[in-house]
Amino acid sequence: QQQVKQSPQSLIVQKGGISIINCAYENTAFDYFPWYQQFPGKGPALLIAIRPDVSEKKEGRFTISFNKSAKQFSLHIMDSQPGDSATYFCAARRSRGSTLGRLYFGRGTQLTVWP
Amino acid sequence: GAGVSQSPRYKVAKRGQDVALRCDPISGHVSLFWYQQALGQGPEFLTYFQNEAQLDKSGLPSDRFFAERPEGSVSTLKIQRTQQEDSAVYLCASSSPKGRGRGTDTQYFGPGTRLTVL
C-alpha cells in the first residue's frame, strides 16, 4: 500500500518554464515532508522540506506548497534549467512513534528540461 | 568530511548465493537506515539502527535479509540465498549527529549498491 502517491510519473518542460510535481498522503500522523532529487547513479539528496504548520516554503527556485486539509503537497521549480533534469521524490515521515525517522517515498517523477 | 559511502557499488550474484553489502555512514551519525530501490520506483524502507541497536526491521522482506551494526558505525546488509526479485539498488542513509538521534534530522544517502541476481 503506497502511503505517498506522486504524479506525474514523467514531466517534460521547456527551459525557463515551471515544473510542478504533486503528492498526496493519507496518514495524518506524518509531520515532515521532504523532497529529494536523484541523478542517475547517485543516491537521493534532500532538496527542500516542509512541516504542516506552514502552507508554503521557498528556497531559491524551489517552492513547496502544502495543503493540510487536502493532505496534498507539491513542488514547483521556477525557471527550470537543463541541470534540473533528474528524478524527484516526495516523501513523508513521522517524527514521533515507533516508525521514527522512517521515510515513505512516492514513486518518483522523471523531469526532463529541454534547452 | 566525506559523505555516506557504500561498497561494492555493483554486485552480480547467481541465484542462491549469499551477498554482503557495506555502508560507512557519516562519522558521528547515530541513526542509520537501509532502503531498497527497485528500478523505476521510490526507495522502500528496510531497517533502522540507532547506534548498534536495530530499532525497526519491519521492512525486511523475508528472513533471508539480515542487517547488523555491531559497533554503532559501519553496517552490513546480508542477503542469503539471493533470488531474482532481490535485484535492486540498496541505499544506506545516515542522520543525527552524535547526541541527538531525533527523528526530524535530515537523512544523507549514499550512492547505493546495485545488486543484480542472475
A43–B109 C-beta distance less than 8 A: yes
B95–A101 C-beta distance less than 8 A: yes
A45–B42 C-beta distance less than 8 A: no
What pLDDT score was predicted for residue A99?
Answer: 61
Domain residues for the domain of A62 are 4-114
Residue B118 clears pLDDT 60, i.e. is over it: yes
CA B9/CA A66 separation, integer angstroms: 36
- Mean per-residue pLDDT over chain B, rounded: 92
Contact B31, B105 (CB under 8 A): yes
What pLDDT score was predicted for residue B105?
Answer: 77
The structural domain count of chain A equals 1
Q: What is the CATH number of the domain that holds A83?
A: 2.60.40.10
Asked if B25 is an interface residue toward chain A (Cβ–Cβ < 8 A), one would say no
3-state secondary structure of B84: helix
Chain B CB contacts of A105 under 8 Å are 42-44
> pLDDT per residue over A3-33, tens digit each?
999 999 999 999 999 999 999 999 998 989 9
> pLDDT per residue over B23-64, tens digit each?
999 998 999 999 999 999 999 999 999 999 999 999 999 999
